[in-house]
Amino acid sequence: MAQLFFVLYLLSVIGGIAILLGEERSAVSSIPWILVVVFVPIVGLLLYIIFGYSLRRKQLIDVEVREALSDAPLETRAVPVTEVKDEPDRELHSLSALIERLTSTPLTTANELTHYDDSREWLSACRDAIAQAQHYIYIELYRIEEGPWLDALLDLLAERIQEGVALYWLYDDVGSRSLSRHYRKRMEQMGGEVATFLPVRFRLLTSRVNYRNHRNLVVVDGAVGFTGGNVLLSELSRMPDAVLPLATTHLRMTGEAVRQVEYSFALDWYVATQQLLSPQQLSPTIAPQEWTAEPIKVQTFPTHPTDDFPSLEMILTHAFLQARRSLYIESPVLIPTSSIQQALISTALSGVQVRIILPRRGRSWLAPKASHAFFTDLLRAGVEIYYYEGLREATYAIIDEGCAVTGTPYLDFRSFEYNFDLTTVIYSEEVAQQFVERYKETLALCHQVTPRQNKLWRRIAHGVMRLLTPLL
Q: Is the pLDDT of residue 76 over 70?
A: no
- State how far the alpha carbon of 408 is from the alpha carbons of 47, 284, 368, 405, 415, in Å: 28, 28, 18, 10, 9
Check: CB of residue 340 under 8 Å from CB of residue 316: yes
| Tens digit of each residue's pLDDT (9 = 90 or more) over 283-324 | 444 444 445 468 999 999 999 887 788 899 999 999 999 999
Please tell me the distance from the alpha carbon of residue 187 to that of residue 325, in angstroms, as a whole number. Answer: 49
446 or 306, higher pLDDT:
446
More confident residue, 387 or 392: 387
What is the Cα–Cα distance from 209 to 226, expressed in whole angstroms?
26
pLDDT at 221: 93
C-alpha to C-alpha distance for 58 and 306, rounded to whole angstroms: 6
Is a pLDDT exceeding 90 seen at residue 258?
Answer: yes
- From 303, 217, 291, select the one nearest 255 (Cα to Cα): 291
Cβ atoms of 228 and 249 closer than 8 Å: yes
| Banded pLDDT at 203 (limits 50, 70, 90) | low
pLDDT at 124: 87
pLDDT digits (tens, 9 = 90+) for 237-249: 565 554 555 667 8
- At 150, the pLDDT band (50, 70, 90 cuts) reads confident
Length of the chain measured in residues: 472
Average pLDDT of the residues in 364-373? 71
User: How confident is the model at residue 343, as a pLDDT?
Assistant: 96
What is the structure's pLDDT at 71? 45
- 99-110 pLDDT, tens digit each: 999 998 999 999
Q: How high is the pLDDT of residue 201?
A: 66
| Side-by-side strand order, sheet with 250-254 | 112-116, 250-254, 224-227, 217-220, 136-141, 166-172, 193-197
Give the Cα separation of 403 and 87 in Å (integer).
Answer: 13
Burial zone of 147 (CB within 10 Å; 0-12 exposed, 13-18 middle, 19+ buried): exposed
Instruction: Output the pTM of the full model.
Output: 0.82
**Residue 179: pLDDT above 60?**
yes
Which pLDDT band holds residue 178 (cuts at 50, 70, 90)?
confident
Q: What is the mean pLDDT of residues 207-222?
A: 82
> Which stretches of 331-404 are DSSP H helices?
338-349, 366-372, 375-381
Contacts of 45 (CB under 8 A, 6+ apart): 12, 13, 15, 16, 37
Cα–Cα distance for residue pair 403/427, rounded to 1 Å = 5
User: Which of 75-84, 222-231, 413-422, 429-438 has the largest mean confidence?
Assistant: 429-438
Mean pLDDT, residues 220-244 = 72
In whole angstroms, what is the distance from residue 201 CA to residue 422 CA?
26
Determine the pLDDT at residue 130.
95
Mean pLDDT of 419-431: 94
Mean pLDDT of the chain: 80
Yes or no: say if 409 and 395 are a contact pair by the CB < 8 Å rule: yes
- Percent of all residues in the chain with a pLDDT value above 90, rounded to a whole number: 41
Coil, strand or helix at 343: helix
Higher pLDDT, 353 or 92: 353
**Confidence at 265, pLDDT banded by 50, 70, 90:** very high
pLDDT band per the 50, 70, 90 thresholds, residue 256? very high
pLDDT at 389: 82
Q: What is the mean pLDDT of the segment spanning 277-285?
A: 50
Strands of 146-187 (E only): list them: 166-172
